[in-house]
Amino acid sequence: MTRSPARRALRIAGVLAAVAFVALLVYGLTSKATNSTIDDALSRGEAVPAPGFTLSKLADGRDAGAAWSRAAADGDVALRELRGTPLVLNFWASWCDPCRAEAKLLESTWKRQPGVLFLGLDAQDAREDAGDFISQFGLTFPHVRDPGNDTQRAWGVTGLPETYFIAADGRVVGHVIGTVDEQQLAEGIAAAKAGKPVGAEEGGEQRPVG
């Protein structure tokens, strides 16, 4: 029996709608997929160039050094401006309870680690709340702020907190996913100073990010 043109058109429209839905679903999944470039390289024992960013200064801290002073002079900080100094880059937010759990360790380690710059990166947070967090925990290392999540995605951040260790040549040599402990922090700092990959590893708790 021959199908009517109307029924045939309806069938074709249904097929096209299904195809469009699948395409949209695939796009959504791939666009939200975690960027694993850094961790993949570290798993092979390779350092990888740190994804660049330029973010607004949130707090200067104290005794952060000449490199930070130069980079932050105009209110915006580009990661490339800190090249030449080993870095500990900590992603955090004031609403993140695990970030509170590691704040005192980060501060005490920063105070006794000359030659390494700690840099906090506050993400998806209100500036006022972030400032209160810094004051509450007496954090004296500098911070930048990303009101969105572009920087997190570029770095492959899946939750907060996460900590990256960057050598003076601008390559990522270590990554701790979740709260960092004293040993992980010491090993990451040593790797940043030596420029030798220490890998990526699981830390403690963290909160998911969008």
Lookup result for tokens 């160039």: 49
The rounded distance, in Å, linking the Cα atoms of 67 and 90 is 18
Candidates 123, 198, 188; CA nearest to 155 is: 123
Q: How many CB atoms lie within 10 A of CB 196?
A: 13
- Supply φ then ψ for residue 174, to 5 degrees: -165, 160
DSSP state of 72: T
User: What is the reported pTM?
Assistant: 0.84
- The pLDDT of residue 10 is 56
- The pLDDT of residue 33 is 54
Candidates 41, 36, 34; CA nearest to 173 is: 41
Superfamily (CATH) of domain 37-208: Glutaredoxin (3.40.30.10)
- The pLDDT of residue 25 is 33
- The pLDDT of residue 184 is 98
User: 179-183: long-range contacts at Cβ-Cβ below 8 A with a sequence spacing of 24 or more?
Assistant: 179/98, 179/99, 179/101, 179/102, 179/203, 179/204, 179/205, 179/206, 180/90, 180/102, 180/105, 180/106, 180/204, 181/105, 182/105, 182/109
- The pLDDT of residue 4 is 61
- The pLDDT of residue 27 is 31
Q: Is the dihedral of CA 177, 180, 182, 186 positive or negative?
A: positive
pLDDT by residue for the chain (210 residues), tens only, comes to 455 655 565 565 454 444 333 333 333 333 345 789 999 999 999 999 999 999 999 999 999 999 999 999 999 999 999 999 999 999 999 999 999 999 999 999 999 999 999 999 999 999 999 999 999 999 999 999 999 899 999 999 999 999 999 999 999 999 999 999 999 999 999 999 999 999 999 999 999 987
Domain positions in the chain are 1-33, 37-208
